[in-house]
Structure 1
Amino acid sequence: MELRIMTVFIVLDRSALAASTAATVGDDVVAAPVDPEKDSIMNTQHVSFVKGPDGKMEMRVERYLDTFPFKFYVVLRDIHGLPAVLAETLRQYFSLVGGE
């Protein structure tokens, strides 16, 4: 029997975390301003410079998750959904391993 290993990277989306995070200043609790669309990892962009066909450097803007270094990842917006996400991930893993 061959041992198969799969690593799944779990990303806690910043917009969901920031919404529940508050800073304490003295005796006051100050909530951090959050724009869910702007602060989400789903909308984060990565900028790189590459040589174009004419040899000049060109700026390329890509979504960060399009160049994410992990093959398997889950973007989790609600930490309370973690047990269900882990269960589904294990189900898919055993489905992959059992299908070969």
Structure 2
Amino acid sequence: MTVFIVLDRSAIAPAAAAASGASDPDKDSIMNTQHVSFAMGPDGRMEMKVARYLDTFPFKYYVVLRDIHGLPAVLAETLRQYYSLVG
């Protein structure tokens, strides 16, 4: 099993965010990112569909990590959940 760990953009330290010009850290969060696709509609016209990026994320198992200092706890909890499913 592979678990993909996503370090969220809003996890940047406030000083670093201010230096990069980010006014609202949640604005750049992966939780708010949207994916746009175009598909042929029933009437033959192209239709635009907007979906949350994480709804179409290519990995089945992933963890969104907002605070890098919480990485050890997140890894420990992920392993605990894995072994409870397997064993």
TM-score by length of 1: 0.79
Q: Secondary structure at the match of 2:44?
A: coil
- Higher relative contact order (Cα pairs below 8 Å, separated by 6+ residues): 2
Aligned with 1:7 (options 2, 8, 17): 2
Distance 1:20 1:64, change over 3 A: farther
Q: Which runs of 5+ in 1 are unaligned?
A: 1-5, 23-29
Aligned-partner SS, 2:78: helix
Aligned residues: 86
Hey, which of these two has a bigger chunk of strand by percent? Answer: 1
Structure 2: give runs of 5+ residues left out of the alignment.
Answer: none
Cα distance change, pair 77–10 in 1 and its aligned pair in 2 (3 A): same
**Structure 1 or 2: more helix by fraction:** 2
Deviations along 1:4-57, one digit per CA (max 9) or x if unpaired, are xx10000000121264537xxxxxxx7112212211000001111001111211
Identity %, equivalent residues? 81
What is the identity, as a one-letter code, of the residue corresponding to 2:5? I
CA distance in 2, matches of 1:66, 1:37: 18
Q: 2:68 aligns to what? A: 79
Runs of 4+ in 1 over 2 A off after TM superposition: 17-22
CA RMSD of aligned residues (A): 1.6
Task: Specify the structure having the higher radius of gyration (Cα).
Answer: 1
TM-score normalised per structure 2: 0.90
